[in-house]
């Protein structure tokens, strides 16, 4: 019933997304046409001792997962996965997805709070992947600049079995404290994009912990990529802000509360939405809203052609 209700809501809220052909997979989930991808980012909120009642992970985990499943995300970046218990809950609730995870506290990426690239296992293969620390020593576990904790950015080179194309997907979570760490973190992310993803379409998503009025961060990211909200063919839907701070009294969230982004290069952005859904306890599934973007790749090229053209 939850899946059906939310899909009906999506049909009402996002008509532009479904102007393309809808296909049905054997698992019953609605799927977009082969040329279109649904991508996004979602800070799901770590498990904390103060998370009680409707904010407790055990009471909201199914709703976090249902958003990803019911909206048929093809690839989404997640932030704030506290530990393997929280990760395994998501894996159990999302059997049609694969998880590429990185922890922020050791060089192997196996310790500490995690971020994850979550993707439709029936559509994509990961060709290559890696991560780096957001600091002047990106290969060494380290706190960068004026940040308060270790932070990382992960990346994956994805192969799309529907369109026979490849693209890069970067996912990160910038520190909440320290303007310098976000400005220099953005420089590092864009430098790595320029280094790793030469000639390929790119997504860079995550919780950047800064509004677009924080210009050193925002101008750096948009010097290399485009903000999907600003280039969407359809008018953006949902709130402008993406950080709700559990405040259910508001009907709208302002520009300064925008923290979560989908930046892209070499895609046509068909639609952009912030999913402002409450659940049965009359609160949000997380203190952030998920970002939902539908895109079509520009000038599609196959892996075979790319291999001839670009030196990896």
Q: Which of 119-123, 237-241, 295-299 has the lowest mean pLDDT?
A: 295-299
Residue predicted with more confidence, 117 or 279: 117
As a whole number of angstroms, the distance between CA 240 and CA 53 comes to 28
- Please give the distance of CA 216 from its chain centroid, rounded to a whole number: 21
Query: Could you report the per-residue pLDDT of 163-209, keeping only the tens digit for each?
Result: 999 999 999 999 998 899 999 999 999 999 999 999 999 999 999 99
236: left (phi over 0), alpha (psi -120 to 50) or beta: beta
* Position 25 confidence tier, pLDDT thresholds 50, 70, 90: very low
Query: Span 245-268, mean pLDDT?
Result: 94
Query: Could you report the per-residue pLDDT of 201-227, keeping only the tens digit for each?
Result: 999 999 999 999 999 999 999 999 999
On the question of pLDDT at 243 being above 80, the answer is yes
As a whole number of angstroms, the distance between CA 49 and CA 84 comes to 17
**114: closest CA among 150, 147, 144?**
150
Q: Is residue 199 a contact partner of residue 192, using CB atoms and an 8 Å limit?
A: no
* CA–CA distances in Å: residue 309 to residues 63, 109, 168, 201, 312: 44, 32, 16, 14, 10
Long-range contacts of 228-233 (CB under 8 A, 24+ apart): 228/261, 228/262, 228/263, 228/264, 228/269, 228/272, 228/293, 228/295, 229/261, 229/262, 229/272, 231/269, 232/269, 232/270, 232/271, 232/272, 232/293, 233/16, 233/268, 233/269, 233/270, 233/271
Q: Are strands 165-173 and 124-133 parallel, antiparallel or unpaired?
A: unpaired
Model-level pTM? Answer: 0.87
Query: Span 28-56, mean pLDDT?
Result: 84
Of all residues in the chain, what percent carry a pLDDT higher than 70? 85
Over the range 12-41, which residues count as b (16 or more CB within 10 Å of their CB) and which as e? eebebbbeeeeeeeeeebbbbeebbbbbbb
On the question of pLDDT at 9 being above 50, the answer is no
What local confidence, expressed as pLDDT, does residue 279 receive?
Answer: 87
Structural domains of the chain, with CATH: 2-6+37-309 (3.60.10.10)
Which two three-digit tokens encode residue 265? Answer: 């290069």
On the question of pLDDT at 128 being above 80, the answer is yes
Q: Would you tell me how many other CB atoms lie within 10 Å of the CB of residue 285?
A: 26
Widest distance between CA atoms in the chain: 56
What local confidence, expressed as pLDDT, does residue 32 receive?
Answer: 53
Query: Could you report the per-residue pLDDT of 66-79, keeping only the tens digit for each?
Result: 999 999 999 999 99
List phi, psi (to 5°) of 106: -155, 165
Contacts of 146 (CB under 8 A, 6+ apart): 177, 178, 179, 180, 181
Query: Span 272-299, mean pLDDT?
Result: 93
Q: Is residue 289 a contact partner of residue 276, using CB atoms and an 8 Å limit?
A: yes
What local confidence, expressed as pLDDT, does residue 191 receive?
Answer: 98
């Amino acid at each position: 019933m939850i899946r059906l209700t939310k899909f009906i809501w999506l049909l009402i809220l996002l008509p532009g997304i479904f102007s393309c052909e809808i296909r049905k997979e054997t698992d019953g989930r609605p799927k977009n046409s082969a040329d279109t991808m649904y991508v996004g980012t979602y800070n799901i909120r770590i498990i904390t001792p103060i998370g009680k009642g409707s904010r407790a992970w055990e009471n909201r985990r199914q709703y976090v997962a249902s958003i990803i499943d019911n909206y048929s995300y093809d690839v989404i970046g997640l932030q704030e996965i506290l530990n393997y218990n929280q990760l395994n809950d998501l894996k159990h609730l999302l059997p049609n997805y694969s998880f590429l995870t990185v922890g922020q506290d050791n060089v192997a990426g196996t310790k500490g709070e995690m971020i994850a690239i979550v993707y439709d296992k029936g559509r994509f293969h990961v060709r290559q992947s890696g991560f780096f620390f957001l600091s002047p020593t990106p290969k060494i576990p380290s706190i960068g600049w004026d940040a308060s904790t270790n932070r990382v950015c992960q990346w994956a080179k994805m192969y799309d079995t529907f369109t026979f194309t490849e693209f890069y997907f970067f996912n990160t979570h910038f520190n909440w404290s320290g303007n310098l760490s976000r400005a220099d973190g953005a420089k590092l992310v864009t430098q790595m994009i320029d280094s790793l993803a030469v000639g390929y379409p790119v997504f860079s998503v995550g919780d950047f912990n800064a509004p677009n009025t924080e210009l050193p961060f925002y101008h750096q990211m948009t010097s290399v990529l485009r903000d999907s909200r600003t280039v969407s063919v359809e008018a953006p839907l949902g709130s402008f802000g993406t950080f709700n701070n559990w405040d259910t009294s508001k009907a709208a969230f302002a520009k300064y509360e925008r923290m979560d982004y989908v930046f892209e290069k070499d895609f046509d952005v068909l639609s952009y939405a912030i999913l402002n859904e409450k659940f049965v306890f009359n609160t949000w599934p997380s203190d952030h809203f998920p970002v939902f973007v539908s895109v079509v790749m520009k000038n599609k090229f196959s892996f075979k052609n790319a291999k001839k053209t670009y030196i990896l």
